[in-house]
Chains A and B, each alone.
Chain A
Amino acid sequence: MSNDPREGATLWTVPGPVQSIQRGAAILRLLARSSGRLGVGEIATSLGLPRGTAHGLLRTLQLVGFVEQDDATGKYQLGAALLHLGTSYLDVNELRSRAINWADALAARSCESVKIGTVLDGQVLVVHHVFRPDDSLQTLDVGSLLPMHATALGKVLLAFDSGASATLGAGPLDAFTRRTIVEPRALARALAAIREVGWAAQVEEMTVGEAAVAAPIRGHGGLVVGAMGITGAVERICDAKGQPNTALVTFVRDAARAVSRDLGASRW
């Protein structure tokens, strides 16, 4: 089963316009045009919608941050999120705050270190790091940058964000070990496979002796806002055949899903 609606799109018949999106867009236009805030009643009459329908649409637009409701009057205006639609819509420190409980639980279950990453200028920015729970000496990696194509976190981010993959360019990629994927076409195939299964692995592609598993963190509407995964010695992460241990993969995916659920991604 594919998680990516873009895939196989050519097989679908082109659907007609979606009414609620048209109506939502009309509400945003109306609010943008108006000089002050508008109440539900005004919006409903302006657009010829039943009050209940307008209210439902406004609630949804509010949930995703496109409109804001004034506490005192209950009236609506355009939301701050609309102003920086292009930039990251979830603050990275907010992502850490929201993910911290599940990242801890993942480290405790997998007995491996956990990292959460987001895209920054074509690289993976480590926004959160939980130590491997063996009390050995480890240093906090928060703030460091990792290559996209050679890490499990990076491959997840590339797979689910076409903008990020565009930054890689067409030429060969840096090799860190003999197993790093350096061929753009090979990488594209790997990313397609990641979209197919919904998680990524990296086996000695960055550092000899090390492997990693990661899964996407999704926000409202399924938008991927980060990746979360574990990294550890290849003999602990992988089975005898060199495949990532299925129990660990399940832990990673469950943890990423729990964060996604808390962030409002209902389907994951």
Chain B
Amino acid sequence: MVMRYVMSIDQGTTSTRCIVFDQRGRLVSVTQREHRQHFPRPGWVEHDAMEIWRNLERIAPEALRQAGVGLEEIAAIGIANQRETTLLWDRRTGLPLRRAVVWQDTRTNALVDELAARPEAAMVQKRCGLPLATYFSAPRIRWLFDATPGLRERAERGEVLFGTMESWLIWNLTGGPDGGLHLTDVTNASRTLLMDLATLEWDADLLDFFGVPRAMLPQIRPSTETYGVASRVLPGVRIGAALGDQQAALFGQTCFAPGEAKCTYGTGSFLMLNTGTEPVRSSHGLLTTVGYQVGAEPAVYALEGPIAVTGALVQWFRDGLGLINSAAEIETLAKTVDDNGGCYIVPAFAGLFAPHWRSEARGVIVGLTSYITKGHLARAVLEATAWQTREVVDAMNADSGLALRTLKVDGGMTADNLLMQYIADVLDVPVVRPMVAETVSLGAAYAAGLAVGYWPDLEGLRRNWHRAAQWLPVMEPERRAAEYDNWCRAVERSFDWMRPRD
């Protein structure tokens, strides 16, 4: 039997994608399906996990059909997923208890403030590498307990399971209520606030602090390892890897050496720097997280600068304001003018993530005059992504003591030339896109292929990386400095908007 392909599943915030790759890491087929975004209240964002599972049931066989490939030719499946999105489901019926609470959701704001006021709160960041913020999973579990009488008791009895999307998909792929495997990988576990970054195990003190019973948690496993064999949707195929989407992109960009970094531009954008086998603590507002763990080898850590809203701002421009019909048209509209006309948009829709961590900030548009057209606004939308990148790159440089020399990029927004050029301009370094823009999927495929011996080693994967495009900085230093100064002043104006609710 010839195993000729690897399949990736990218369970993202807006859609789920299946891609079949060949041995050279080239895309053979791709299928994709969006799921509904539920916004039941301001600040709340939810997904229907059953809808996501049904989407996968549809698109995975479709990807095989499109490629003309049989199940027996798939060496392994690798999963990448939106991180921190929190789901509880019933072990016996296999049904979610309610909709999944998405990473952008800020309903735990008050709860997080309350937890942060406790004396033990300082232990959290030391133990798990993350600041106590609404972004991560543990406060969501706690919120769900508080909102649902009797739920904690059911969780203690092991009747209710917790997982992020990779756990949900693996559990379902391996049988669901009929013997489904309940597990997660180190990268996803490192985003819960519940894992000890040094031991890579659930931490008893953190579980206590958040009031989360151990019985509901999945087992933590390396990112690449044959976890089991699918019994549904892709029956008989081995599941060889799971990683958070951003870590998968780090892997797909083959950032295997300390000092190598990438930024993925999707719904949000995420700069990540490989720091080797020792966790590095940030003093400039970055997160310490697990990059990946290959089988029984030591885990590789990363510094991360998450930006909550980048592509989502373009999406809002399209769906919320209706000024464009497709995301790509933002570039066409932006090109109708030569500059931003003095206008800046700070998209603090859910507060600001790195490097500010201001949950009370809200979005602002500043510099409005009657001169401003929708073209200027479109520019300001794209520039917001570039300047937010600049902020996290500056933090990364300060933390590592090294200056970033080129930025490797991937994700849907890299199709935007104007944006990529502007990023090169504001960072004053070359911006490079690799041959596979779907780097999240490629990383998941690489990790799975590695687990089953389809690819021999990391060096082999590195040889598949090729430059597909490069943008060089051309902006004059004075203009860069002046624009950055304007941006920073705009950011300050977004602070302190939400009042404490008492």
B437 CB-CB contact with A under 8 Å: yes
Interface string of B327-343 (1 = CB under 8 A from A): 11111100000000000
Chain B residue numbers with a CB within 8 Å of A133 are 435, 466-468
The smallest C-beta distance from A73 to any residue of chain B, in angstroms, reads 16
Complex Cα distance, B424 from A140, in Å, reads 13
List which B328-381 residues lie within 8 A (CB) of chain A.
328-332
Also in contact, A94 and B26, with CB within 8 A (given A131-B469, A133-B466): no
Chain B residue numbers with a CB within 8 Å of A138 are 470
Contacting chain B: which of A4-12, A105-113, A117-125, A194-202? A105-113
List which A60-112 residues lie within 8 A (CB) of chain B.
80, 91-94, 96-98, 100-102, 104-105, 107-109
Also in contact, A96 and B329, with CB within 8 A (given A104-B437, A108-B26): no
Does the CB pair B325–A101 fall under 8 Å?
no
Does the CB pair A93–B435 fall under 8 Å?
no
List the B residue with the shortest CB-CB distance to A261: B66
Complex Cα distance, B469 from A101, in Å, reads 13
Chain A residue numbers with a CB within 8 Å of B436 are 104, 108
Name A130's contact: one of B26, B28, B469 (CB within 8 Å).
B469
Also in contact, A105 and B27, with CB within 8 A (given A96-B415, A131-B467, A140-B470): yes
List the A residue with the shortest CB-CB distance to B434: A104
Does the CB pair B27–A101 fall under 8 Å?
yes
List which B469-489 residues lie within 8 A (CB) of chain A.
469-471
Does the CB pair A93–B328 fall under 8 Å?
yes
Interface centre among B27, B330, B466 (most CB of A within 10 A): B466
- Tally of chain B residues near chain A (CB < 8 A): 29
Chain B residue numbers with a CB within 8 Å of A101 are 27, 30, 437-438
List which B1-53 residues lie within 8 A (CB) of chain A.
24-28, 30
Chain A residue numbers with a CB within 8 Å of B332 are 91-93
B326 CB-CB contact with A under 8 Å: yes
Does the CB pair A104–B326 fall under 8 Å?
no
Also in contact, A130 and B415, with CB within 8 A (given A94-B328, A101-B438, A104-B436): no
A26 CB-CB contact with B under 8 Å: no
The smallest C-beta distance from B309 to any residue of chain A, in angstroms, reads 19
B62 CB-CB contact with A under 8 Å: no
Complex Cα distance, B325 from A129, in Å, reads 24
Complex Cα distance, B436 from A140, in Å, reads 17
Chain A residue numbers with a CB within 8 Å of B27 are 101-102, 104-105
Complex Cα distance, B464 from A134, in Å, reads 10
Chain A residue numbers with a CB within 8 Å of B28 are 105
Chain A residue numbers with a CB within 8 Å of B24 are 108
Does the CB pair A130–B468 fall under 8 Å?
yes
The smallest C-beta distance from A231 to any residue of chain B, in angstroms, reads 15
Complex Cα distance, B470 from A98, in Å, reads 19
A223 CB-CB contact with B under 8 Å: no
The smallest C-beta distance from B328 to any residue of chain A, in angstroms, reads 4
Name B468's contact: one of A91, A131, A142 (CB within 8 Å).
A131
B417 CB-CB contact with A under 8 Å: yes
Chain A residue numbers with a CB within 8 Å of B328 are 91, 93-94, 96-98
Also in contact, A104 and B435, with CB within 8 A (given A93-B415, A97-B412, A142-B417): yes
B416 CB-CB contact with A under 8 Å: yes
Measured CB to CB, the residues of A under 8 A from B are 80, 91-94, 96-98, 100-102, 104-105, 107-109, 129-131, 133-135, 138-140, 142-143
Measured CB to CB, the residues of B under 8 A from A are 24-28, 30, 325-332, 412, 414-417, 435-438, 466-471
Starting from the known contacts A93-B417, A105-B27, 18 additional A-B residue pairs (CB-CB under 8 Å) come to: A80-B325, A91-B329, A91-B332, A92-B332, A94-B326, A94-B329, A96-B328, A97-B326, A101-B438, A104-B436, A104-B437, A130-B435, A130-B468, A131-B466, A131-B467, A133-B467, A140-B470, A143-B417
Residue pairs across A and B with Cβ atoms less than 8 A apart, 20 shown, are A91-B326, A91-B328, A93-B328, A93-B329, A93-B330, A93-B417, A96-B417, A97-B415, A97-B416, A98-B328, A101-B27, A104-B435, A107-B435, A108-B26, A109-B26, A133-B466, A134-B466, A138-B470, A139-B470, A140-B470
**6 nearest CB pairs, A to B:** A133-B466, A93-B328, A94-B328, A97-B328, A97-B415, A93-B331
